[in-house]
Amino acid sequence: MHLRPGAMLYLCSLTKYGPMKFDVQHLDRKWQAYWKEHKTYRTLNDTSKPKYYVLDMFPYPSGSGLHVGHPLGYIGSDIVARYRRQAGFNVLHPMGFDAFGLPAEQYAIDTGVHPSQSTAVNTARYKEQMERLGLSFDWDRSVNTSDPGYFKWTQWIIGEVFEHWYDRDADKARPVSELIDHLEKHGTEGLHAAETEPRRISAEEFNRLDAKGRSDLLMNYRLAFRSVSYVNWCEALGTVLANDEVKDGRSERGNHPVEQRPMLQWSLRITAYAERLLAGLDTVDYSEGLKAQQINWIGKSTGALVHFDIKGHEGQLDVFTTRPDTIFGTTFMVIAPEHELVDRLTTQAQRGEIDDYLTYVGRRSELDRMSENRVTGAFTGAYAINPLNGAEVPIYIAEYVLKDYGTGAIMAVPSDDDRDKRFAEKFGIEIIDVVDKSDYPGATLKDKVGRLMNSGFLDGMEVPDAIAAATERIEAEGRGQRQINYRIRDLVFSRQRYWGEPWPIEYDDEDVPHRVATVDLPVELPQMEDFRAVNGASPLERATDWIRHDSRRRETDTMPATAGSNWYYLRYMDPTNANEFVSPDAVNYWQDVDLYVGGAEHAVSHILYSRLIHKFLFDIGKVPTREPYKKLLNQGMIGGPISYIHLGILLTDDGQRHPVWVSSNVAEGSGLEVPGIGSGHLVLDESTGRRLTPLRFVTETSVNNESSYRLYHDAVDEAQRLDHQDAAYFRTILQQATAFAWSLDKEGRQYLELSVEQGKMSKRKYNAVNPDDICERYGADCFRMYEMFLGPIDQGKPWSVSGIDGVYRFLRRFWTLFVGEGDRLAVTDAEATREELKILHTLIKKVTEDIEKLSFNTCVSAFMVATNDLTKLRCDKRAVLEPMVRLIAPFAPHLAEELYRALGGTETVHRAGWPTFEERHLVEDNITYPIAFNGKTRLTLEFPAEATRETIEETARADAQVQGYLEGKAIRKVIVVPKRMVNFVVG
């Protein structure tokens, strides 16, 4: 055998490496162990390098483990992290666990296993699964929100929030001590603070208050405050839920009914930050959709606060309206049934009617209200007086006016509001048209367009002008002022549950709350065995020894799960710091998250709340940036097929009924023959129907270009043998009939056709696919590349394994570029050809650009194209192949590490640098031009790259084929775009 120059390398590598079999299991194990042992992904706060922070939303470690939907984002972020690391950045890429929360507590109630135990087990499982995927997390920086070393600082932050108030003049949070200072000197005079309700007090009055009185007043301003508020109470879960934990009047977790209940609760004053949360969105790179969701959630609307006098009463009725221009069309007023004036306004004559209505409203749940959407209400008997024209209008109560929005009262303008209109029609109230929309055909009542009429001084004005003029008049007459309203409500931050951070608050003998001193943090949970919340009381109420602390009484409410998760990205910067939540050095170096990846389900709440806490920490000088997350990527959800086996009745000719499993495509009445029973026809009735079939027993095939889901006979046998939860469930299902009306496939194997729907992957639907299983079969690299290859990462898609073989084949072909006959490395030092270098540099360019664009699926395609091309060229040049290894390392880290070492690399490929793209390798001598006639491409011609417009046109005109197409036609115009195309416009 003749040795080529490059063969020296192969001999060296061989002695060190031996045969190189393509054994993905071996590679996975070998390198995962190596990385762990050598702490390859350890990140130090090395300020000599530029930083890059790639963060995944940390998971709640549930009992069912990861399914193939979870890693989609983890793989994407891992690719970015690895790419940046190779490119010379100091990359922070941590992972931790959002470990406080309801499920562990619910599990504890059901099984008696303490949440800390089940959490530890689940956390270990998650970590194992993530390591199996070859994710490059620095586990030394891992955090766990239920770890006292962590939640000490969650409590500390909330304590800081408690000790601050929001100064609207400075537009930032300031210490409560400064507020007290102001109150002592000036009272509320000159104070512009975010507050629960408007308060007026003089300095003298304030100074006369006792401790409790002061504390109560300060609660009106604190950013973490306690108040009676209507909360989403869920009886079944025994707890209060946040707005985003409630869907359609039911709890998101468990789907239990939720009712409104007044309770004394801790809240965070997020409303103080509404404007900044809104403005900050302009400075971050989030998707438009996500920004829109946040904007909607904050719900800013500009309008006017208008005071209406009430006939025969002292006080006024305040309303908020975005349409002050339509005030002349006000023909009635509506206040919320819970409005504080209801009782006072109700006349003797109307008392009965109002009471009946209040009873009716009280009976109706949030769910009823939303689902029925009925027009209901009752007249109080009182009248309000229109401040601009003195008209007297009746005051109603109706449930369509919400106590929590605006002032809980509206001026109803039936001519320009759908709900007011329906109400007016039902109750026979006058409708005065005040906006002429005839110039705007197709405009609806919601559109703020038209010309005012029947409106006194506003007549003839266009709506926007009229709004300004009306507001001005209202202000001038002292009847109200311009006002901005937000839909967002303060964040209820109390839970009457066990498994969360205790509020770091203690009460003294006078019931005055005090922040627990930092030296006394963390406030740990007491050991308990019964975690049930009884009658809405926190389980901690029963820990009487724990509650008494020195001379004080501990707060028994705990915090919601979001408490730990809204600042965790900061803790990763300095995870073991025992003196501070994060050191100034660490946070000044790492700054903020450069790329944040996670599910869209957290798009509103989690992101909004962590932005809130971040802005607060910015105000108190603890973080240098205004926003926590620079760029956000929401990965799509991977759905799973939910398949069903169909149960039917075989009615035999002798009139006997036999339950039998049938293919989903067999119609009722069809003839059937089942061995051992006989023949007859299929009957479907209420005893039959379909049963959930665990996905692991289902085979997906393609028949006549249609995908088909089948249950094969051997899968049924397997289910009988297997010791697995899914198998156990399936066995009980299969007991409902013993006979199967099998069909035969091409190979003569027996199967049943199943029906299928797409749905969320979940344990309960038996359709969760475990990534471990896929890794065992194809290796982690293949799984990673396959998930990326499925399509754009931000799009949802159903899980399907069809296609994974293609990725596996690709990896093998890639490997074969390096490893030849007899599993030996076959790479030479021969000089690379121009063509080979062009392939390489095309790939470098494409992969680098696409990683930056987070377009990972096209990266995988590019690798495939390059591999195919180089295979065709039988390329074995180190100069081409070695950079390829470094390029693929972020995607297929195990395979890349192996090949890189085999090529002589002494250090990890993951710090081996990123190949540099050189434009000169892509320069072409000739460019192929499409030649089109009237825009239709007919042929192609080659021209030198530097050819001018004129030469191209002349040469093209002279071409024989072109002549053929031009025959008998006049050339009107020739368009030549250099390096692109030629178009003949002919007539």
Partner RNA sequence: GCCCGGAUGGCGGAAUUGGUAGACGCGCUGGACUUAAAAUCCAGUUCCCAGUACUGGGAGUACGGGUUCGAUUCCCGUUCCGGGUACCA
CB of 307 to RNA, least distance (A): 15
- What does the alpha-carbon distance between residue 624 and residue 759 come to, in Å, rounded to a whole number? 43
CB of 504 to RNA, least distance (A): 30
Strand-pair category, 51-56 with 90-92: parallel
CB of 235 to RNA, least distance (A): 21
Give me the torsion for CA of 492, 498, 499, 500, rounded to 10°. Answer: 40
Q: Note if the bond before 522 is cis, omega within 30 degrees.
A: yes
CB of 369 to RNA, least distance (A): 5
Which residue, 196 or 800, is less far from RNA as judged by CB? 800
Strand-pair category, 300-310 with 505-507: unpaired
Strand-pair category, 224-234 with 172-175: unpaired
Q: In the block, which residue shows the tokens 């081996």?
A: 912
3-state secondary structure 671-691: EEEECCCEEEEEECCCCCEEE
Which residue, 256 or 514, is less far from RNA as judged by CB? 256
CB of 411 to RNA, least distance (A): 7
CB of 222 to RNA, least distance (A): 24
CB of 586 to RNA, least distance (A): 35
For the chain, helix, strand, coil in percent to 5 are 40, 25, 40
Which residue, 117 or 926, is less far from RNA as judged by CB? 926
Which residue, 202 or 940, is less far from RNA as judged by CB? 940
Sequence-separated (6 or more) residues with CB below 8 Å from residue 187: 200, 201, 202, 203, 204, 205, 206
CB of 930 to RNA, least distance (A): 3
Which residue, 795 or 833, is less far from RNA as judged by CB? 795
The values of phi and psi at residue 598, to 5°, are 180, 180
Which residue, 754 or 982, is less far from RNA as judged by CB? 982
Which residue, 172 or 291, is less far from RNA as judged by CB? 291
CB of 288 to RNA, least distance (A): 4
Six-digit token pair at 143? 């955090």
Which residue, 726 or 781, is less far from RNA as judged by CB? 781
Nearest to 630 by CA among 588, 594, 605: 594
Neighbours of 302 (CB within 10 A): 11
Burial class (CB in 10 A: 0-12, 13-18, 19+), 945: exposed
Q: Are 194 and 271 in contact (CB under 8 A)?
A: yes
3-state secondary structure 882-920: HHHHHHHCCCCHHHHHHHHHHCCCCCCHHHCCCCCCCHH
Sequence-separated (6 or more) residues with CB below 8 Å from residue 806: none
Taking CB atoms within 8 Å and a gap of at least 24, the contacts of 480-484 are: 480/304, 480/305, 480/306, 480/307, 480/318, 480/387, 481/304, 481/305, 482/302, 482/303, 482/304, 482/305, 483/302, 483/303, 483/304, 483/305, 483/320, 484/275, 484/300, 484/301, 484/302, 484/303
CB of 703 to RNA, least distance (A): 8
Which residue, 246 or 683, is less far from RNA as judged by CB? 246
For residue 663, give the amino acid letter.
S
- What does the alpha-carbon distance between residue 890 and residue 75 come to, in Å, rounded to a whole number? 9
Sign, CA dihedral 956-957-958-959, equals positive
CB of 558 to RNA, least distance (A): 24
Sign, CA dihedral 327-332-335-336, equals negative
CB of 936 to RNA, least distance (A): 7
Sequence-separated (6 or more) residues with CB below 8 Å from residue 956: 929, 931, 941, 962, 974, 976, 982, 984
Which residue, 207 or 937, is less far from RNA as judged by CB? 937
Which residue, 245 or 897, is less far from RNA as judged by CB? 245
Which residue, 158 or 284, is less far from RNA as judged by CB? 284
Which residue, 469 or 651, is less far from RNA as judged by CB? 469
Q: Are 673 and 651 in contact (CB under 8 A)?
A: no
Which residue, 161 or 310, is less far from RNA as judged by CB? 310
Six-digit token pair at 668? 């009722």
Q: How many residues does the chain have?
A: 987
CB of 699 to RNA, least distance (A): 13
CB of 364 to RNA, least distance (A): 9
